[in-house]
Structure 1
Amino acid sequence: MTITVDLYAPYRSLIKELFPNAFIIADKFHVVTQADTAMNKIRIRVMKEYGAGTHEYRALKRFWKLLLKNQDNVDYHRYYPRINFKYAELSDSEVLDRLFDMSSELKTAYEYYQLLLQMYRKNSCQLLNLLTDTSSWNLPPEMRQALKTIKKHKAEIENSFVLPKLTNGPIEGVNNHIKVIKRIAYGYNNFKHFRLRILISLKNNVIFFST
């Protein structure tokens, strides 16, 4: 039996109790989210260190998506006038270089984050070993927490390389969709109506079984 799960520790205790021989896979989305969240925390901390209203603060705020972009998709060849850099014509790669000039911590965290993305593209145990080798990294505290989580679930991450297409993504999507339905309606007093609204909304995406 194979089970794909997020990084919530109590789930593992239950899985091991009910399915002691299960092949447990750490869901890629949740692992990457750990580093993604750390990147944002570091960026925001650096912004605050510079202070609101500064050039650095505005640039780091504006280009937050670029810092999370897969390096393979970063544009090196097209140039655009950048409002945060006095309208200098810069490629995405050059914008990143200027952001890293603002903070060496941000640059180190970015390199770690990109290596994690590369690890999943290649399903590489070698890169996983490099990511979990604490002696190789002088990470900011926010990213050290992500490293700690990755080390804790290293075996389950390795398992994900065996079956890389397995993910809880579709289920997570359904759960998020249901939360949106509930939020838009400001809650439901009648569960029957709530259930019916979900079934209608998801009828083309999910198969439901009546019991």
Structure 2
Amino acid sequence: MRLFDARTQAFSTPPVALPKVIAIDEFKGDTDKGKFQLIIADPITRRPIDILENRRAKTIQRYLRERGQQVEMVIMDLSSTFKNAVQQALDKPVIIADSFHFSRYIYWALNKVRVRVQKHFSEKDRKHGKRIQKLLFKRSHKLNTAQKAIVRHYLSLHPDLQTAYTIKEAYQAWFDTNKAQERHDVRQSLHDFYQLVQDKQLPEFIKAIGTFRRWETEIINAFIYPHLSNGFVEGINNRTKVIKRTSYGYQNFSRFRAKILAQHFIKDFDISVG
């Protein structure tokens, strides 16, 4: 451990200043500092910048006030804690909602409708209901002939499921066609989608668009800056899970942080022998 501490000392010093664009996300570290830690990463270099000992608002605010004078954009999931902390610590930052995290509210709503109505299915259809979840989530034009037949069969079993699928398809069309639109056009088409959901009156989707309304500006920013997302952070977190698993966990947060940062620094070096 003394050798490890000596070798990783260079990674233990926090950066003096953060770049103009950062991405933040939580992950489950299970260290002596708490169950969850927070990663701050650079979406341009796709490398972790630092690891915070917890995800509390005060911790994030203190860190950003000390080192975030240059930060202009922050990418995050739909966490009100992160949003409030960033807004209070920084000077009017542009907050970008990660598209995966806001899109999943629509898919969650579709699945909730499936779960609600499947009690009306036959025993056979109810047994296989969960298996079609991926087919319902998939874009209809990507289904093959057999898959389309299966989807049609299940949609015919209850009108609410048919309506939910129609809303999901409308959302996917909105998402695909608005990637390169101007801010006003994205906002207007999003409001048209709200109206569609209101007209259909499915409570699961009414609740979903409530989240969209609260994060509307941040969602629209995701289309203004389509090259910026949190997808790469999920990759970093997956690598962190491997580090944690192969080490049978890290109790000491400082060493866990150093291990993560060091691992991502050396991963591009070829240190193989022969």
TM range, smaller chain: 0.7 to 0.9
Q: Pick the aligned partner of 1:20 from 91, 103, 125.
A: 91
Equivalent AA in structure 2 for residue 138 of structure 1: Q
Decide which of 113, 120, 127 is 2:189's aligned counterpart: 127
Out of 60, 65, 74, the residue aligned to residue 134 of structure 2 is 65
Shift of the 55–184 alpha-carbon distance from structure 1 to 2, 3 Å rule, reads farther
Is 1:136 aligned to 2:220, yes or no?
Answer: no
| 2:80 maps to 1:9 | yes
Report the structure, 1 or 2, having the larger strand content.
2
Stretch deviating more after TM superposition (115-124 or 153-162) = 115-124
- Partner SS state of residue 132, structure 1: helix
Highest CA radius of gyration, 1 or 2? 2
Cα separation, 1, equivalents of 2:83 and 2:260: 33
Q: 1:101 aligns with which of 132, 148, 156?
A: 156
Give 1:116's match in structure 2, choosing from 157, 166, 171.
171
Aligned to 1:33: 104
Q: Does residue 160 of the first structure (1) align with residue 229 of the second (2)?
A: no
Q: Identity over the aligned pairs, expressed in percent?
A: 29
Q: CA distance change for structure 1 residues 26 and 197 in 2, over 3 Å: closer, same or farther?
A: closer
Say whether the 8 Å CA contact 1:25–1:160 is kept in structure 2. yes
Flag the 1:33–1:199 CA change in 2: closer, same or farther, 3 A: farther
- Structure 2: runs of 5 or more not aligned: 1-71, 269-274
Distance in 2 separating the partners of 1:39 and 1:180: 32
Q: Which runs of 5+ in 1 are unaligned?
A: 79-90, 206-211
User: CA contact under 8 A between 2:111 and 2:133: conserved in structure 1?
Assistant: yes
Distance across 2 between alignment mates of 1:105 and 1:116: 16
Is this contact kept in 1: 2:140–2:148, CA < 8 A? no
CA–CA distance in structure 2, aligned partners of residues 31 and 108 of structure 1 = 20
More helix by share: 1
| Structure 2 counterpart of 1:118, one-letter code | A
Residue in structure 2 matching 1:196, options 250, 259, 267:
259
The normalised TM-score by structure 1 is 0.75
Kindly report the root-mean-square deviation, in angstroms, between the aligned alpha carbons of the 2 structures: 2.8
* Counterpart residue type for residue 67 of structure 1: L
Pairwise CA distance, 1:148: 0.9
1:55 aligned partner: 124
**TM-score normalised according to structure 2 size:** 0.60
Counting only pairs closer than 5 Å after superposition, residues 179-190 of structure 1 correspond to structure 2 as: 179-183=241-245, 185-189=247-251
